[in-house]
Structure 1
Amino acid sequence: MTDSSEENSNGKLAQLDAYYRQVNEIILQRQDWVSGLLPASTAVNIHGNYTDAWVRDNVYSILSAWGLALAYRRLGEAEGKTYLLEQSVVKLMRGLLTAMMRQAFKVERFKHTQDPLDALHAKYDTKTGNVVVGDSEWGHLQLDATSLFLLMLAQMTASGLRIIFTIDEVNFVQNLVHYISRTYRTPDYGIWERGNKINHGIAELNASSIGMAKAALEAMSGFNLFGKNGGQTAVIHVISDDIARTRIALESLLPRESLSKEVDSAVLSVIGYPAFAVDQDSLRNRTEQLIIDKLQGRYGCKRFLLDGHQTEIEDSHRLHYDPHELKQFMDIECEWPLFFTYLLLNRLFANHQEGAKDYREKIDRLMVEQIGQ
C-alpha cells in the first residue's frame, strides 16, 4: 500500500470511528441486553409512551449498525468493531423473530381470516418481547412493518450474517411470506397506524404497505435463509402471481397513498430506499415530485395533508376527528426532518450529487446538539 492510499484508508477509518461513537451512544447502548430489542424512543409524554419496541422502528434503527459494519468490513477493520456491530444486528433481528414466533398461531389464523384482530402485533415489550397491548387496543395490522423485516432479513443474510438458525425458523419465515402475500388486497392500518385520514380506525389499502410487500416478496423468492451454503430445505417459495398482483395494485394506487390520502410522505420508502419497488421511472418521478410540491417545507415534509398529529391545537385526549374538523389543521401540519433523509438517500442512489448536497445542507441546518452529539 502506498503512503497516499494508506493515508486515505486511515482517514476513512477515522470517519467511520466517529460514526461508530454515534451509533453506539445513541442506539446500541439502548439495546436490551436480554431481548436484543430497542425502544422506539425514551420519550413518555402527552402523545404516548414510546418506550416499547415497534417492529418498524427497530429494523430502521439497526440499519445504521449494519451499514456501518459493511463499511468497516470493506476497509478491513481489525479491532473487532465490525464483529460487534454485526452481532448487534443479529441479536435485534432474532429478538424480533422470537417475539413474532410467539404469535405463530395468529399468523396461521390470519392466512384464513384476514381479520385485523388476528394480525401480528406491531410492537412488543422491549425487555421481554412479550405483547404490551391487546389485539383490539391497537391498529396492529401493519403489513409494511412485517414486509420491512422480511426484506432486511434477506438483505442481511445475503451480506453474510447468520440470523436464521433452524428449520422451524425457516418454516415460520415461510409463513410470514404467506402472511404478506395478499397485501395487494388487504386493507391495513399502514405506517402511521391509523387507517384512513380521519383516524376512525378504518383500515384501507396503502401504497406504502403494498410497495414494501412487493420488495419483500421479490427478495424472498427462491432465497436461502441459511446463506450460500444452505440446503434446499431453507429455500423460501413465493408464488409469482402474488408478486405480479402486488405490482399491479401498487402502480394503480400511485401516486396516491390510499383512497383517503391523496399524497403521503410514507410513499418515499417504496419509490426509493429501502424498497425500490416502482419499476417505472415516470411514475416514480411523478410521485416524488407530488410529495415535494404538496408536503415539503422548511423543516421537512408533512406526513399528509390535514394531519393534526402533534400540532399546536391537537386535542391529545381525542383519538378521532370528524371530516369537517380536519380543516382546522390546514397549513399547520407538522414537518418531519426524517423525510429529508429519504430524499437525500434517493438522490445518492440515483447519483444526483447536486440534489444530494442540497438535502444534506437542509438536514445540517436542522441539527440540534445534545451531549456532544
Structure 2
Amino acid sequence: MQSIKQCLLAGVLAATAIISVSAHAADPIRIGVAVGLSGANSVVAPAVVQSSQLAVDEINAAGGILGRKIELEIADDASGAVGAQKAYDSLVFQKNVDAIISMETSAARNAALPAITRGRKPLVYTSFYEGRSCNPWMYVNGWVPEQQVAPVVDYFEKSKGAKTFYLVGNDYVFGRGMLDFTKKYIEQHGGKVVGEEYLPIDGTDWTPILSKIRSVHPDALISATAGGAPNVALAKQLKGSGMTLPYGNLAIDEATAKSMSDVATGIYMSGSYFTSIDTPENRKFLAAMRKRFGNDLKTPNELSEPQYEAFYLYKAAVEKAGSVEPAKVIKALGEVSYDGPRGPVSMDRSRHTPLSMRLGQVQADGSVKILQTFPGVDPGAQCPNIK
C-alpha cells in the first residue's frame, strides 16, 4: 500500500503535468512577418502590416488556432537581400517563430530562403513575382507572369492596335524576369519589342530611358519595377515627359496608384485583387478593414490582401494537420483552400494557386475600374519537382 507521502507526491506530479499541458496549449502560435518597412517597399508595407493585424485579430477573436492565440512578430527586411538576412535570422533562429507569412521583394525572398531551409520553417510568400522560385518549405499565393502578363498585352494589341512595345524595369530578378516573359509573349503573339531598358533598384532618374522611348515611338509601354517608390518616380517622370502612349504597369498596386493622385490616371494594370471586386467576401473584408483602422486605413491592394488570406490558409493547414509541426503543416498547405476577397484560393498547383485575374485601369480618383475578368487562370508548371 502506498504511503500518504507517496500519494501526495503522485498527486502533485499529476497536477503539475496537467498544468504543464494546459500552459503549453495556451502558448501563442508565433507567426513572423518580414516586410520592407524601409526601402522600395516602404510605400506598400503599412497596408501589408494592417492586413496581417486584421487577420490575427479575427482569428484570435474566434478562438485562435487549435485553441491557441496567434502572436505577430514583425521584422523590417529593408526591401533587400542584406535586410532580409538579418530579419530572417531574427525570426527563425532568435525568436523561433512557428511560421513566416511575408510580402517581400524577390531579392529579399531569395536571400531569406537559406534561413527557411536551415530552420525548417513554413513560409507563405504572398507577393506577386517573376515565378519559378521553389523551396520545400515555401508556398506562394501571389500571381506569376503566366497569369498576369497576357491581359495587358492582349488588350493593347486588340483594343489599342499596338504592334510595337517598349519595356522598362528595375535591374534585378523581378524586373528582368517579368520582362523576359513579357518579351517572349509579345513576340509569340506577333508583336515586336523595339527597346528594353533597366534602372538600378535604387535609381530614381528615368529621364535618359524616357528619351530613348520617345526616339523610337513605340505603340505601348510596359514596365516592371520593384514596386512602391520606383513606380511613383517612373509615373511622375513619364507624365512630365508629355508622352501619352498606352502604359501598362506590371508591378503597381492600388494603394500606390491612389497615393499618386492624377499621375497614375490611365495606367493599365493586371491583378488578382482590386477593391472594386463586387462580392460579399470582398465587401465584408473592406468593411472589417475600415472598422479596424478607421482614418488610418491604408488602401487594401494586390500586395496586402494576399497577406490577409495567407493567415487563413495557414490556419486551415494547422487545423488539418492537427499540429504546428512544420513538416505536417507544409504537407497540409497544399491540401487546403480559403474562399476570400479574391475568390477561392488553393496552393495546390506546383505550390502556387490558380487565380481569377482582372485587367484594370486607374481612374482620376485613384480607384481602379475593372475592364475584364479572367476566372481561374492557371499558374503553369512552377515547382513540379518539389514534393
TM value normalised by structure 2: 0.25
Answer 1 or 2: which has greater strand percent: 2
Greater relative contact order structure (CA < 8 Å, 6+ sep): 2
